[in-house]
Structure 1
Amino acid sequence: MAKQQKLFAGAGILALAGLIAKILSAVYRVPFQNIVGNQGFYVFQQVYPIYGIGMVMALSGWPLFISKMVAEQPTQAEKRLVARRLFWLLAGISIAIFALIYFGASVIAAGMQDMRLVPEIKAVAWMFLLMPCLATSRGYTQGQFDMVPTALSQVIEQVVRVTVILGVAWFGMQHAWDVYRIGTWATFAATIAGVATALYLLRSLWDFNPLQRKTTISAENLNYRQLWQRLWREGGLLAVLAALLVFLQLIDSFTVKGFLVQGGLMSTVAESTKGVYDRGQPLVQLGMVVATGLGTSLLPTLHTHWQNKAEAALKQAFQMTVRMSLVFSALTTFGLIAIMPVVNMFLFSSREGDGALMWYVTIIIPATLITVLTSVLQSMNRTRGLVWFVGISLGTKYVGNVLLVPAWGIDGAGIATLIALLPLLTFAIWRIPRSLWHGMLTWQWWCHLGIVLGAMVITAVAVRWGGDWLFGQTRGASILTCGLAGLSGAVVAIYGVIHQHIFNQTELCALPKGEHLAQLSKGN
C-alpha cells in the first residue's frame, strides 16, 4: 500500500513538473517571435523538430522504457546492471544519430531547401550526445518510484533553455546579428540546458555507475542482445508515439516552404509565411496541456484496475478519462477558433494566417485523444499495430502537403495535419475493448455537447466582434478584447457543462473545486 501511495504521489509530482515544462516550452516562443519576427521564427522552427525528437527520447520515450526494465528487476544489483547496459546501448544510438545529423547537415538543409540552415542543424546535433545520461538517469530513478529527479530535471532543462534562447534573441537583435546566426545559438541552447540537467542528474548516474565493468551477478535475460531487442521493440514504440506531433512538424520543415514556392510565392515570402504557420505550434501545445493533463492524471488508477481485473472500476476510470479529455480538448479548440484573430494579434502582433491557425488548432482534439488512448493501450499491453499506423499517419501528412499546400498554402498544411491524425486515432479507438465504450457517448450526450460548444462559440465571436468595433484592432485593444471574449466564452461553457449534464457527479467531483460544481449540477 505504501509503495502504491508513493507511486501515485510520484506520478502527481511528475505530472506537475511536466505541466510546468510544457507551459515554458510553449510560452517562450511568443516573445521569441516578437523579438526576431516571422523570418527569424521560421529559421528557428525549421530545425526545432529535430530538437523535439531528441527531447522526447531523453524525457519520456526512453526513460519510460528504462523505468519499466529497472522496476522488473528483483535486486538492486540487477537494477544497476540493466541501467548500465542500457546506458551503453543508448550511447551507441546517440553517437550514430549525432553523426547522421552533424555530418549530414548539408543534405538535411538541402532537403529543407535552405542551405543557410547548415550551422543550425549542426548545433542541434550536439544535444544527442547527452541523451544516454539524461534518459538513463531519469529512467533509473523512475524505476525505483523516485520521480523527483526526473520532475526537477524537466523544469531545470526548460528554464535554462528558455533563458538562453530569449537572451540570445535579445542580444542578437541588439547587435544586428542575422536571423540565421540567432537561430544557431538559440538552437545550441538545448545543449547548454542538457549539460546543466546532466550535472543535476550526476548523482543518479553515479548510483549505477556506467563506467563499472565488473559484475558479480549472472543474468541471462539481461544480456545485450535481449536488451537491444526490447529497447527497439518496446522503447522505440514509446518514443515514436511521444514524438508523433514533432515528426509531423519535421515533415512540414522539409515540405512547406518548397511547396509554397511551387505555389507561386517568392522564397523570402514563403519563409515568412511558414513563420506565420509555425505560430500554431505553441497554441496547440498550450491547448493540449489542460486536456491531456486532466486525462492522463487518471491513468495510474486505470492501470491498477486493469492489473486487479476490476472490470467495473476499470470501465468507470476509462470513461472518465476519455470524456474529460474529449470535452476539454473540444472546448479549448472551439474557443481558440472563436477568438483566433484577437489571439493572433495579441500574441504575435498581426492577424496574418488566421484561417491557417484555425485549421491547425483543430488537431488539439485528435492529438489529445491519441495521447490518452495510446497510453491506455500501453497500460493494457495492447499496442500491437500502433507503430504501423504511426507510419500511415506520417505518410498521409506528406501526401496531404503535396496535394494541398501548393494550391491552398498554409491552410492546406493545417488541414493535412488534421487528416493525418485520423488513421491513428481510428485504430486506437478500435483497439480499445468494446466493453469499455459501452453506454459512454450516446447521441443525446453528443447533442448536449454540441449545444454547449455552439453557445460558447456564438458568445465569444459576438464579444470579439463587439470588441473590434468598440476598441479597434490594435494590439493593445486585442488584449482587452481577447480577455473579454475568452472570459465570456468560458462562463457560458462552464454554465453549459453543468446544466447540460456533460459530466456525471463522479466526474465533476474529480475536477478542481468539483464539489461545488456537483452541488450546482444537482440543483438542475
Structure 2
Amino acid sequence: MNKSGQNLMAGAGILTLAGIIAKVLSAVYRIPFQNLVGNTGFYVYQQVYPIYGIGVVLALSGWPVFISKIITEQPDEEHQQLVARRLFWWLLLISCGLFILVYGGAPILALGMGGNLKLLPVIKAVSWMFWFMPFLAVGRGFAQGQLNMMPTAVSQVIEQVARVAIIIAIAWYGVHADWSVYTIGTWAMAAAAFAAAAATLYIANIVKSIWHNPITKAVKKDKSIGWFRILHRLWNEGNLLAMLAGLLVLLQLVDSFSTKGLLQIYGLSTHAAEYAKGVYDRGQPLVQLGMVLATAISTSLLPVLRNHVVRSEQKMFVGDFQMMFRLSLILSGVATCGLMAVMPAVNQVLFSTREGSHALMIFVLTVIPATLILIGTSVLQSLNKTHGISWLIILTMLIKYALNIWLIPKHGIIGASWATMLSLLPMLYIVMHRLPKTLWQDWHSIHWWPKFMLTLLAVLIGAGGCCHIGGLLMGTSRLASLITLIIAVLVGIIVFIIMIWRLRLLSVAEWYALPKGYKVYNFLEGKNK
C-alpha cells in the first residue's frame, strides 16, 4: 500500500476509535441521567434532543465530510484556503439563521412538541450551540481534506466528554437542589454550547491557518469556486451527507412533534403521556449501542472501497463490499436478537424498572435496517449514485409520521416503536435496489441464510432462556437482574461464537476482519500457540 493509502487507513482507524468512544459516551450517559431525573425529566431532555442531534450531525458528519471532499479537489493551498474561507462565511450565515429559527421560534416549537410551553427555555438553551458550528465544521473539514484526521477525532472526544460531564453534574446537583425537571433540562441542553466551545478552542488554530496567506486576484476569479457555486454544492452535497448521518435523529424529531399528543389520544393524561414518552425514549441509547460495532466495521472499510473505485479495481470492490455487508448483517442481527432476549433485565439494570420492555424489544429491531441503510448509502456515495436520496429521507420521515398517527392511538408506545422500524423498510429496499447488480452476484453460499437464521435463533434461546431462568431463581431486583444479565450476555456471546464457527458462517478472511477475530479463530481451530 502506498503512503497516501496508509495515511487514509490510519486516519480511518483514528476516526473509528473516536467515533466508538463518542457513541458509547452518547449512549451511556443517558442511563445515569435518566436514573437521576426520572422518566418525566428524561422526556423533557429527549423532546429537545433532536435539535441538538441535528446540530452535531451538521458540525461533525455532514459538513466536514463535504468540506474535506471539496478541499481535496483543489490544485494548491491557495485555492484550498479560499474555498475554506468562503465556506466559513456561508456556514456562519446558515448558523445565524438556524439560531434565529430555534431561539426566536422556540414558542412555536414548544407548541408543536405537545403544546408544552415549559419547554421554551430548554429549546432556547440548545440554540446557542449553532454559533460554534462554522468553526467546528470548517476546522474539521479542512484538516480532513489534508488527510489529518486527528483534529476531528480529538475535538469529537473533547466535545462529548465535556458535555457528558456537565450534564451528569447538572442532573446530580439539580436533583439535590430540588430543581424542576425543566430547569435541569435547560442547563443540560446548555451543556451543548459549553462543550462546543471547548472543542472550538482545541480546533481554533486550524481555523486561523485558513487566513494565513493572501489570495491572488487570479484565484479569486476562478468560477469553479465562486461564492454561489460553493453554496450550490454545499446545499446539495453537504446537506445530503448530513441527512444521511442524522436519519435516526430526524425520526426522533418526528416523535418529538407527534408522540405526546398521540399518546393523549390513546387515553393517557398529560403527565402520563410525558412519562410514557420518557420510557419509549430509553430505546435510543440501546439502538446506538447495538449499532456501534457494525458501524465501526463499515466506517473502517469504506475508505478501502473508495480506493477501489478510484483505481478501477472492480473485483476487489465487490469482494470487500460483500464481506462488509455480511459482517454488518451478522453483527447487527446478533446485537438485535441479544438485546431482545435480555431486554427485561437490561431495562431493570439500566433504567431501574421493567416498564415498556415489550416496546423496547420492538424498538431495537431498528438496528438492522438502520445499519444496512448506512452501509448501502455509503457505497452509493463512493459510486456517486446518491441522486434523489434526500427526497427518500423526507419520504421516510413522512412515513414515520403517518405510521405514528395510525399506530400510537391504538397501541401506545408499542405503536411508536413499530412506526420507527417499519418507516425504514421502504428506504432500505430502495437503497439496496439501487446498488449495482454485480455487487450481489454470489454474495453468499447456498446454505448461508439457514445458517444465519439458526445462529440468531440459538442466541435468542440461549440468552433469553438464561434471562428467564435467572428471573425465576433470583427474582427481578436490580442486583439480581444485573447478575442475570451478565450470565445471559456471556452465554449469548459463547453461543454466537460456537455457532458461527461450527456452521462455518464466516470465512477465514471475515474472522480476521473482526476485532481480535484471528485470535478467537486460531483458538477454536486449535492453532493457538
Please report the TM-score for the alignment, with normalisation by the length of structure 1.
Answer: 0.98
Q: Does 1:199 align with 2:215?
A: no
CA distance in 1 between partners of 2:97 and 2:211 (Å): 23
Q: Which residue of 2 aligns with 1:163?
A: 165
The 8 Å contact of residues 78 and 213 in structure 2, kept in 1 or not, is answered as: no
Give, in angstroms, the shift of residue 491 of structure 1: 0.4
Instruction: Spell out, residue by residue over 1:293-335, the C-alpha distance to the aligned partner (whole angstroms, 9 max, x if none).
Output: 1122111111111211112111110001111110000000000
Code of the aligned partner of 1:356: A
Instruction: Spell out, residue by residue over 1:66-111, the C-alpha distance to the aligned partner (whole angstroms, 9 max, x if none).
Output: 0001111111111110000000111111111110111100000000
Q: Which residue of 2 aligns with 1:92?
A: 93
Superposed CA RMSD in Å reads 1.5
Structure 1: 4+ residue segments shifted above 3 A: 210-216, 516-524
CA distance in 1 between partners of 2:394 and 2:526 (Å): 49
Give, in angstroms, the shift of residue 292 of structure 1: 1.0
Choose the corresponding residue for 1:399, options 390, 398, 402. 402
Give, in angstroms, the shift of residue 518 of structure 1: 4.0
The 8 Å contact of residues 9 and 300 in structure 2, kept in 1 or not, is answered as: no
Choose the corresponding residue for 1:254, options 253, 257, 271. 257
User: Structure 1: any 5+ residue segments left out of the alignment?
Assistant: none
Out of 280-289 and 439-448, give the one that drifted further. Answer: 439-448
Percent identity reads 49
Tell me the secondary structure at the aligned position of residue 386 of structure 2.
coil
The 8 Å contact of residues 257 and 271 in structure 1, kept in 2 or not, is answered as: yes
Once the two structures are superposed, the pairs formed by residues 106-125 of structure 1 within 5 Å of their partners are 106-113=107-114, 114-125=116-127
The 8 Å contact of residues 82 and 215 in structure 2, kept in 1 or not, is answered as: no
CA distance in 2 between partners of 1:519 and 1:148 (Å): 34
The 8 Å contact of residues 63 and 137 in structure 2, kept in 1 or not, is answered as: yes
Choose the corresponding residue for 1:225, options 228, 238, 252. 228
Q: Which residue of 2 aligns with 1:508?
A: 511
Give, in angstroms, the shift of residue 521 of structure 1: 6.9
Q: Which residue of 2 aligns with 1:128?
A: 130
CA distance in 1 between partners of 2:286 and 2:212 (Å): 40
Q: Which residue of 2 aligns with 1:75?
A: 76
Once the two structures are superposed, the pairs formed by residues 335-346 of structure 1 within 5 Å of their partners are 335-346=338-349
CA distance in 2 between partners of 1:79 and 1:251 (Å): 38
CA distance in 2 between partners of 1:124 and 1:514 (Å): 42
Tell me the secondary structure at the aligned position of residue 45 of structure 1.
helix
Q: Which residue of 1 aligns with 2:441?
A: 438
Choose the corresponding residue for 2:419, options 416, 420, 428. 416
Please report the TM-score for the alignment, with normalisation by the length of structure 2.
Answer: 0.97
Q: Which residue of 2 aligns with 1:102?
A: 103
CA distance in 1 between partners of 2:413 and 2:390 (Å): 28
CA distance in 1 between partners of 2:525 and 2:32 (Å): 44
CA distance in 2 between partners of 1:390 and 1:281 (Å): 19
Q: Which residue of 2 aligns with 1:492?
A: 495
Tell me the secondary structure at the aligned position of residue 351 of structure 1.
coil
CA distance in 1 between partners of 2:236 and 2:486 (Å): 47
Out of 67-76 and 505-514, give the one that drifted further. Answer: 505-514
Distance 1:195 1:451, change over 3 A: same
Choose the corresponding residue for 2:390, options 364, 387, 390. 387
Code of the aligned partner of 2:256: S
Q: Does 1:55 align with 2:47?
A: no
The 8 Å contact of residues 392 and 423 in structure 1, kept in 2 or not, is answered as: no
The 8 Å contact of residues 403 and 419 in structure 2, kept in 1 or not, is answered as: yes
The 8 Å contact of residues 498 and 520 in structure 1, kept in 2 or not, is answered as: no
Tell me the secondary structure at the aligned position of residue 439 of structure 1.
coil
Give, in angstroms, the shift of residue 213 of structure 1: 8.5
Q: Which residue of 2 aligns with 1:40?
A: 41
Tell me the secondary structure at the aligned position of residue 440 of structure 1.
coil
Give, in angstroms, the shift of residue 519 of structure 1: 4.0
Tell me the secondary structure at the aligned position of residue 5 of structure 1.
helix
Tell me the secondary structure at the aligned position of residue 342 of structure 2.
helix
User: Structure 2: any 5+ residue segments left out of the alignment?
Assistant: none
Q: Which residue of 1 aligns with 2:319?
A: 316
Instruction: Spell out, residue by residue over 1:342-378, the C-alpha distance to the aligned partner (whole angstroms, 9 max, x if none).
Output: 0000000000000110010000000011111111110
The 8 Å contact of residues 290 and 328 in structure 1, kept in 2 or not, is answered as: yes
Q: Which residue of 1 aligns with 2:458?
A: 455
Give the paired residue count: 524
Distance 1:175 1:213, change over 3 A: farther
CA distance in 2 between partners of 1:137 and 1:317 (Å): 32
CA distance in 1 between partners of 2:214 and 2:57 (Å): 28
Tell me the secondary structure at the aligned position of residue 502 of structure 1.
coil
CA distance in 2 between partners of 1:311 and 1:325 (Å): 21
Tell me the secondary structure at the aligned position of residue 355 of structure 2.
coil
CA distance in 2 between partners of 1:65 and 1:373 (Å): 18
Code of the aligned partner of 1:483: I
CA distance in 1 between partners of 2:193 and 2:217 (Å): 33
Q: Does 1:334 align with 2:337?
A: yes
Give, in angstroms, the shift of residue 514 of structure 1: 2.6
Q: Does 1:428 align with 2:431?
A: yes
Give, in angstroms, the shift of residue 216 of structure 1: 6.3
Tell me the secondary structure at the aligned position of residue 201 of structure 1.
helix
Q: Which residue of 2 aligns with 1:190?
A: 192
Q: Which residue of 2 aligns with 1:15?
A: 16
Give, in angstroms, the shift of residue 215 of structure 1: 5.8
CA distance in 2 between partners of 1:19 and 1:210 (Å): 34
The 8 Å contact of residues 346 and 476 in structure 1, kept in 2 or not, is answered as: yes
Tell me the secondary structure at the aligned position of residue 217 of structure 1.
helix
Code of the aligned partner of 1:349: S
Choose the corresponding residue for 2:473, options 466, 470, 473. 470
CA distance in 2 between partners of 1:210 and 1:244 (Å): 37
Choose the corresponding residue for 2:268, options 256, 265, 270. 265
Distance 1:213 1:99, change over 3 A: farther
CA distance in 2 between partners of 1:473 and 1:193 (Å): 38
Code of the aligned partner of 1:255: S
Choose the corresponding residue for 2:284, options 275, 281, 287. 281
CA distance in 1 between partners of 2:490 and 2:520 (Å): 18
Give, in angstroms, the shift of residue 11 of structure 1: 1.2
CA distance in 1 between partners of 2:367 and 2:516 (Å): 25
Distance 1:456 1:76, change over 3 A: same
